[in-house]
Chain A
Amino acid sequence: MAVQAANVVFENVSKKFGDFTAVDSVSFTVEAGTLVTLLGPSGCGKTTTLRMIAGLDSASGGRVLIGGKDVTRLAASERDVSMVFQSYALFPHLNVIDNVAYGLQAGGMRKEPAREQARTKLALVGLSELEVRLPSELSGGQQQRVAVARALVLEPQVLLFDEPLSNLDAKLRRKVRDDIRALQQSLGLTVVYVTHDQSEALAVSDRVIVMSNARIAQILSLIHI
């Protein structure tokens, strides 16, 4: 697969909501093809940081670069970034294959070729048999895999995960966590991953960025054996 993984660079990025500072002059680099976790308690600014990579929130100050290109003022729909939402955000009125094909169709591709391409991504997450089901007819783990397939279909430069395990039961978490890591490694993706669970962060990432009170408290590089 021709994923062109790109790096993500934050240069003194801040985000203010009125008087409240959610992210305060944060700088870091996510190298291409690595998995980096944003770790911290709720309200520390990690999700806002993630949303600024996606373009769902626009930075109040500083610069965001993806693949060396300044995207600070670019809208979400113009950025080459996909996201797996905490709630999965599967479109409830579209079946599995149409959910996955959505991004291709939005870009102007016809229905059948879009579905054809979507099928390859569904196969990647092992859900080929379920393509005509509605999201409400899937288990939580299956829903999450559909969300991953849907995010991968546009072959984004960067893939974002917002607390992907929080809606799964304890048994499933470990498996899904390992699946995400395996997928990232085999496709060579750049992944930014938000969690508040320390052990989860340590298990999946190449680097961990610990955030607290809208700032970066610590950056850990992990060596996996």
Chain B
Amino acid sequence: MAIPVPALAASTGRRVRFNFTIPVLLAIAALALLATPWYGERIEGSALALAWNGGRWWLAPTVLGWLVVLVGWRMPTDSVWRGRVITAGALFGLVWVLLQGFAVGMRGLDWAWFAIFGPVRDGQPGLGAGGFLTLGVFTLLLSQGIAAMGKFRGDGFISGAVWSIGLLVGLFVFFPVARVLVSAFTNQSGELDLALAWERLTASDIWGLGCLISGTSCGVAWNSLLLAVLAGVLSTLLGLAFALLALRSGFRWRRSLQVLSILPIITPPFVIALAIIVLFGRTGMVTVWLETWFGIEPSRWIYGLPGVLISQLLSQTPLAFLIMLGVIQGVSPTLEEASQTLRATHWYTFKTVTWPLLRPGVANTCLLGFVESLADFGNPLVLGGNFEVLSTKIFFAVAGAQNDPGRAAILALILLVFTLGAFWLQQRWLGKASYVTVTGKGDAGLPTPLPKRVSALCYATALPWAFFTAALYLLILIGGFVLDIGRGDFAPTLAHFRTGFLVEWGERGVNWTGSAWDSFFTTVVVSAIAAPLTTAIGLLTAYVVARQQFAGRRSFEFMTMLSFAIPGTVIGIAYIVAFNVPPFELTGTGLILVICFVFRNMPVGVRAGMAALSQLDKSLDEASLTLRAGSAYTLRRIILPLLRPAIVATLVFSFVHAMTAVSAVIFLVSAKYNMATAYIVGRVEVGEYALAIAYSTLLIIFMLLVIGLIKVGVGERKLGRRSNNPGDLLPGAH
């Protein structure tokens, strides 16, 4: 943001910097107020035009902020008042735009006290290009003013980054969640109603214990907790078995285990649930087989806790496996060797040294699995049957006949408390109990082989599970190419691809006649826009947090990571509640999908960036600074080129996640902007499994292609010796 331009001061030869940032921002603000449509729809005209002859006087005071900033900018640079005046002007502009936006609603005054400024007769729609541009520019002006006051070491770029990220996260994470909390405690007409909130909160379908006392079903909260505990513990144990096999045994196909662990990452979350229906549903292959050979009556047992649990385990075990790999590698083999030189047996060593060292990591993985399961939406939706959990209950509270946002908000609140509680527990309890034994010193020890009984147990659990997973994926792969896999009809056909993805050559060029193309293109475009934005904002945040010192850095970091702990369904309902009304009217647009992905996936970019930065010697930044480079220049020429691996990882992750996400998205899609996953869920609901599976196969293949392209496009990091380099032929002075 700071654009330093060197000019030679004749007398000394020292460079003097002239800062263009503020005048450029002021010019953009003027453009936004004078010549850009202020509203998003219905009412045409810029803010000042509408204020002048549209009777919308409340749009005018923003100019006051602009003028104050202008005055501040003209003040001498060494005056202490310069920064304060700019800050005050920008703050006034920012606050006023927000204030009038909330005060004057769709049908007139929403906040009655606003009338003290003057009478308001008309309502107004949500902000448009002019409004958003003004908000953005005033935020940047505010950050420049604060930098001019000497905060952020006077660095306008860092100040701008921190304030823009902070405001964006505030607007797109905190504001919607806060709106949900408010709507949980208010009635339909928007008044505070604690009695109603209490009634909703204690409803028997949330907390009821019918399944223990009588024959009825239990409340959704208990269902969710039970499922999450089971999924967390079992996926961790499976992951542990896989990881022990991969690292501590002579197992021959270790590498294929790793491949198996990548698959679920690029699989839309409910596809596995589909495959399970195909196997164990009422007309599923295994069910039919069991009936023919053993006379076992077909039933719907898979719809409910067993089915949801199995499909969650299938998608979570690979993640647990990856985490446990890291945990086991963190146990220094030397410690185990030390135990053995003290005459301990394999089993005794495992019991008294290895396992206690693994325990914090295991508990950590359990908690992550617990949270994953709570947040999962796709599997319970497809396989839940009468077994309802919080995330699906939230969805059905707003979608369909009920449409009770207040109830959805209470359920979302309970879900949020559960997940945040789990993360709090993790920080509190496990933050201290970690015994990391990886040091800078080389560790010459050899990992001790597993005790016989442990290794037997690992083989007995992991191998069948691996075969099961492989079989399911095989089923998904062929499912799209056969007539009706749901009823065991394996006649090969391309009919499903024709329905979904038919391309015809008409007289006016290509016709995308397949029914799935619309959602496919929307998904690709939205993901392709969201991925680079996620990467940029994530890595910028990481850089600011890891490499800069400023007041409030810790809380800034916490704030940017928080959206990670908020389940997708909660974000979905929150976005509907917050962005359905002015001043931020975004539902039904493609923009809201992009925004949703950017802020949901941003924490992963932050983590990847921080991890990569911790490997970069800080003296590289410092060397750049002592060579008179500003932080923006350092970021562009030194940090970014060296962060390429993290950039690739974040691009891939955010693209893939945007393509496969379902929980938040399903609330936000519209007829015009439908997403692949929402389309597939729709097909599943009407029983068209084959088309759903065909579509999923196509998505998986497409994502593999894109990942390959991203890796080629961004390229590998060039730090080592280059071949065919003319420089290598020159005589070196060694």
* A→B interface (CB under 8 Å): 2, 54-56, 58, 73, 75-83, 85-87, 89-93, 95, 102-103, 105-109, 126-127, 129-134, 136-137, 139, 142, 150-151, 154
A76 and B642 contact, CB distance less than 8 A: no
A95 and B727 contact, CB distance less than 8 A: yes
A92 and B719 contact, CB distance less than 8 A: yes
Interface presence of B734 (CB below 8 A):
yes
A102 and B637 contact, CB distance less than 8 A: yes
B5 and A108 contact, CB distance less than 8 A: yes
In whole angstroms, how far apart are the Cα atoms of A103 and B625 in the complex?
Answer: 9
A81 and B150 contact, CB distance less than 8 A: no
Residues of A with C-beta under 8 A to B633: 106
In whole angstroms, how far apart are the Cα atoms of A78 and B2 in the complex?
Answer: 14
In whole angstroms, how far apart are the Cα atoms of A55 and B728 in the complex?
Answer: 38
Q: Mark B1-38, 1 if CB is under 8 A from A, else 0.
A: 00011100000011100000000000000000000000
A154 and B627 contact, CB distance less than 8 A: yes
A132 and B630 contact, CB distance less than 8 A: no
A76 and B626 contact, CB distance less than 8 A: yes
In whole angstroms, how far apart are the Cα atoms of A142 and B730 in the complex?
Answer: 15
- Which B residues between 719 and 734 are near A, CB-CB below 8 angstroms? 719-722, 725-728, 730-734
A85 and B625 contact, CB distance less than 8 A: no
B721 and A85 contact, CB distance less than 8 A: no
B626 and A142 contact, CB distance less than 8 A: no
B18 CB, min distance to chain A CBs, angstroms: 11
Residues of B with C-beta under 8 A to A133: 727-728, 732
In whole angstroms, how far apart are the Cα atoms of A101 and B2 in the complex?
Answer: 22
Which of B623, B730, B731, B733 sits near A89, CB closer than 8 Å? B623
Residues of B with C-beta under 8 A to A54: 622, 626
B733 and A136 contact, CB distance less than 8 A: no
In whole angstroms, how far apart are the Cα atoms of A136 and B727 in the complex?
Answer: 13
In whole angstroms, how far apart are the Cα atoms of A70 and B7 in the complex?
Answer: 22
In whole angstroms, how far apart are the Cα atoms of A102 and B641 in the complex?
Answer: 14
Q: List 22 A-B contacts (CB under 8 A).
A: A55-B625, A75-B153, A77-B625, A77-B629, A86-B619, A87-B619, A89-B620, A91-B624, A92-B642, A93-B719, A103-B629, A106-B637, A107-B15, A126-B733, A129-B733, A130-B732, A130-B733, A132-B725, A132-B727, A133-B728, A134-B720, A139-B734
Q: Mark B152-164, 1 if CB is under 8 A from A, else 0.
A: 0111000000000
Which of B629, B718, B725 sits near A106, CB closer than 8 Å? B629
B622 and A56 contact, CB distance less than 8 A: yes
B627 and A137 contact, CB distance less than 8 A: no
Interface presence of B203 (CB below 8 A):
no
In whole angstroms, how far apart are the Cα atoms of A95 and B726 in the complex?
Answer: 13
A85 and B623 contact, CB distance less than 8 A: yes
Given the contacts A73-B150, A142-B733, A102 and B727 also touching, CB distance less than 8 Å: no
Residues of B with C-beta under 8 A to A154: 627-628
- The 4 A-B residue pairs with the shortest CB-CB distance in the complex, in nearest-first order: A103-B627, A132-B727, A106-B629, A89-B623
Residues of A with C-beta under 8 A to B733: 126-127, 129-130, 142
In whole angstroms, how far apart are the Cα atoms of A55 and B626 in the complex?
Answer: 8
B195 CB, min distance to chain A CBs, angstroms: 50
B274 CB, min distance to chain A CBs, angstroms: 46
B6 and A134 contact, CB distance less than 8 A: no
In whole angstroms, how far apart are the Cα atoms of A93 and B721 in the complex?
Answer: 11
In whole angstroms, how far apart are the Cα atoms of A90 and B150 in the complex?
Answer: 30
B638 and A91 contact, CB distance less than 8 A: yes
A130 and B730 contact, CB distance less than 8 A: yes
Interface presence of B617 (CB below 8 A):
yes
In whole angstroms, how far apart are the Cα atoms of A77 and B731 in the complex?
Answer: 36
Known: A83-B626, A91-B623. 20 other contacts (CB 8 A): A2-B13, A54-B626, A55-B626, A75-B155, A76-B622, A77-B631, A85-B619, A89-B619, A91-B620, A92-B642, A93-B641, A103-B627, A103-B628, A106-B637, A107-B6, A107-B628, A132-B725, A133-B732, A136-B721, A151-B627
In whole angstroms, how far apart are the Cα atoms of A95 and B641 in the complex?
Answer: 13
In whole angstroms, how far apart are the Cα atoms of A82 and B624 in the complex?
Answer: 10
B614 CB, min distance to chain A CBs, angstroms: 16
In whole angstroms, how far apart are the Cα atoms of A87 and B617 in the complex?
Answer: 9
A129 and B730 contact, CB distance less than 8 A: yes
Interface presence of B717 (CB below 8 A):
yes
Residues of A with C-beta under 8 A to B638: 91
B637 and A136 contact, CB distance less than 8 A: no
Given the contacts A80-B14, A134-B722, A106 and B627 also touching, CB distance less than 8 Å: yes
Q: Mark B601-620, 1 if CB is under 8 A from A, else 0.
A: 00000000000000001011
In whole angstroms, how far apart are the Cα atoms of A87 and B627 in the complex?
Answer: 16
B727 and A130 contact, CB distance less than 8 A: yes
Quick one: closest B residue to A102, CB to CB?
B627
B726 and A89 contact, CB distance less than 8 A: no
B729 CB, min distance to chain A CBs, angstroms: 10
In whole angstroms, how far apart are the Cα atoms of A129 and B734 in the complex?
Answer: 12
A89 and B622 contact, CB distance less than 8 A: yes
In whole angstroms, how far apart are the Cα atoms of A82 and B630 in the complex?
Answer: 14
In whole angstroms, how far apart are the Cα atoms of A11 and B620 in the complex?
Answer: 29
B722 and A82 contact, CB distance less than 8 A: no
Residues of A with C-beta under 8 A to B629: 77, 102-103, 106
B727 and A81 contact, CB distance less than 8 A: no
Quick one: closest A residue to B622, CB to CB?
A56
B191 CB, min distance to chain A CBs, angstroms: 49
A89 and B721 contact, CB distance less than 8 A: no
B718 CB, min distance to chain A CBs, angstroms: 6
A179 CB, min distance to chain B CBs, angstroms: 13
In whole angstroms, how far apart are the Cα atoms of A73 and B149 in the complex?
Answer: 12
A82 and B719 contact, CB distance less than 8 A: no
A108 and B730 contact, CB distance less than 8 A: no
Residues of A with C-beta under 8 A to B717: 93
B727 and A108 contact, CB distance less than 8 A: no
Quick one: closest B residue to A51, CB to CB?
B622
Residues of B with C-beta under 8 A to A90: 623
Residues of A with C-beta under 8 A to B734: 139, 142
A93 and B625 contact, CB distance less than 8 A: no
Residues of B with C-beta under 8 A to A137: 721, 727-728
In whole angstroms, how far apart are the Cα atoms of A102 and B626 in the complex?
Answer: 11
B7 CB, min distance to chain A CBs, angstroms: 9
In whole angstroms, how far apart are the Cα atoms of A120 and B637 in the complex?
Answer: 23
A126 CB, min distance to chain B CBs, angstroms: 7
Given the contacts A80-B14, A130-B733, A136 and B720 also touching, CB distance less than 8 Å: yes
Residues of A with C-beta under 8 A to B641: 93
Quick one: closest B residue to A133, CB to CB?
B727
Residues of B with C-beta under 8 A to A55: 625-626
A93 and B626 contact, CB distance less than 8 A: no
B642 and A56 contact, CB distance less than 8 A: no
Q: Mark B689-722, 1 if CB is under 8 A from A, else 0.
A: 0000000000000000000000000000111111
In the complex, which of the residues B627, B642, B731 has the most CB atoms of chain A within 10 Å of its own CB atom?
B627
Which of B6, B13, B722, B731 sits near A129, CB closer than 8 Å? B731
